[in-house]
Amino acid sequence: MAGTRLSAQKMGLWGRIKRLALTDVGALVRGLRAEDLEALERLLIEADFGVPATMDLVEGLEADVRRGTLKTTDDLHQALDDRLQSLLADGDTPGDLRRADAGPTVILVVGVNGVGKTTTTAKLAHRLQREGRSVLLVAADTYRAGAVAQLEIWAERLGVPCVSGIAGGDPAAVAFDALDAATARGIDTVLIDTAGRLHTQDGLMDELRKVHRVVGRRIPGAPHETLLVLDGTVGQNAVQQGRRFSEAVAPTGIIVTKLDGSARGGAVVALRRELDLPIRFIGLGERLEDLEPFDPAIYAGYLLTDDG
């Protein structure tokens, strides 16, 4: 993960925490006072950490204070860093994706409108290509006018084949045909881009379940990854979206987008804490290169950069 690109951004969370902890220089030594902890709580909530992760962090720090292990700002930084890392850790190797034992690996990309699914699908294709894998893109968004063309343009730029549906067609049929094509051509990874949908759009959620089911019928074990794309700037809404999609298609991992320039990177912590899914990648811009494997240690460091 490009630590420099991340740390170049003005998150300033640590700066804000430090200001708070140092309002009274002696406060840390005497133990964080109740009002300090409340202020820290507010600060974390404002940065989109969500209530459960905020409580975990603050209660953890309280315990550290009681044990007497927090004496300096460096101690506080270290304690927060450790606690953030353990909240974010999922045991998976950053950048790894589950793969089929044999035959094409199928990756289904899902999420609500405009979160960055199509762009992320192209970024993933680019990354897989650089790993030397053959990729097939599948434009299974037959719902939104122009969606197919958008993925086809990416495919052309990347020089990868693309199987497309027709507007208003059945996305499950498109996906089924694409898997036939991938098997016939000996393609390594199939990336299926789907239409944006709100969890309240029952018809569209049913359609997504059908795509998921049909893919599994054509290739047992597929989709090997169902990646849920969430916009990192919408806070608690992303958690809600995650819950609904989890009920519908059992995502295997999350990609959090639009973290470039966001001052609210705490959403990643809330998502990890509240959805219990591994975070696979983060999106840091609109270009093909702007996708980074998610690394808990680097991300914790990013949240706690000394730039505020």
Ligand X SMILES: Nc1nc2c(ncn2[C@@H]2O[C@H](COP(=O)(O)OP(=O)(O)OP(=O)(O)O)[C@@H](O)[C@H]2O)c(=O)[nH]1
Residues that bind Mg ion (CB under 5 A): 117-118
Q: Which residue has the tokens 């809330």?
A: 270
Output the smallest distance, CB 144 to ligand X, in A. 5
290 binds, among ligand X, Mg ion, none (CB under 5 to 8 A by kind): ligand X
**Alpha-carbon distance values, 130 to 10, 66, 124, 157, 164 (Å):** 30, 50, 10, 14, 23
CA-based R_g, the chain, Å: 21
Nearer to ligand X, 218 or 272 (CB): 272
Output the smallest distance, CB 291 to ligand X, in A. 8
Nearer to Mg ion, 257 or 262 (CB): 257
Nearer to ligand X, 17 or 124 (CB): 124
Output the smallest distance, CB 45 to ligand X, in A. 24
Q: Which residue has the tokens 């202020």?
A: 39
Output the smallest distance, CB 88 to Mg ion, in A. 27
Output the smallest distance, CB 123 to Mg ion, in A. 13
Nearest-angstrom CA–CA distance, 191 and 175: 10
286 binds, among Mg ion, ligand X, none (CB under 5 to 8 A by kind): ligand X
Residues that bind ligand X (CB under 6 A): 111, 113-119, 141, 144, 147, 196, 257-258, 260, 283-286, 290
Nearer to Mg ion, 21 or 140 (CB): 140
Take residue 174 and report the two structure tokens written for it. Answer: 């498109």
What residue number has its CB nearest to Mg ion? 118
Output the smallest distance, CB 232 to ligand X, in A. 8
- 162: nearest Cα among 144, 137, 131, 184: 137
301 binds, among Mg ion, ligand X, none (CB under 5 to 8 A by kind): none
296 binds, among Mg ion, ligand X, none (CB under 5 to 8 A by kind): none
Nearer to Mg ion, 112 or 219 (CB): 112
Nearer to ligand X, 116 or 301 (CB): 116
194 binds, among ligand X, Mg ion, none (CB under 5 to 8 A by kind): none
What residue number has its CB nearest to ligand X? 196
188 binds, among Mg ion, ligand X, none (CB under 5 to 8 A by kind): none
**Alpha-carbon distance values, 13 to 47, 49, 117 (Å):** 8, 11, 28
- Asked whether the CA dihedral 268, 272, 273, 275 is positive or negative, the reply is positive
Nearer to Mg ion, 118 or 164 (CB): 118
Nearest-angstrom CA–CA distance, 151 and 21: 48
Output the smallest distance, CB 307 to ligand X, in A. 20
Nearer to ligand X, 44 or 232 (CB): 232
- 179: nearest Cα among 147, 222, 133, 209: 222
DSSP H helix total and E strand total for the chain: 13, 8
Say which amino acid occupies 101.
D
**Strands in the chain per DSSP E:** 105-110, 135-140, 162-164, 189-194, 225-231, 253-257, 279-283, 291-293
284 binds, among Mg ion, ligand X, none (CB under 5 to 8 A by kind): ligand X
- DSSP line for 180-232: HHHHHHT-SEEEEEE----TT-HHHHHHHHHHHHHHHHHSTT--SEEEEEEET
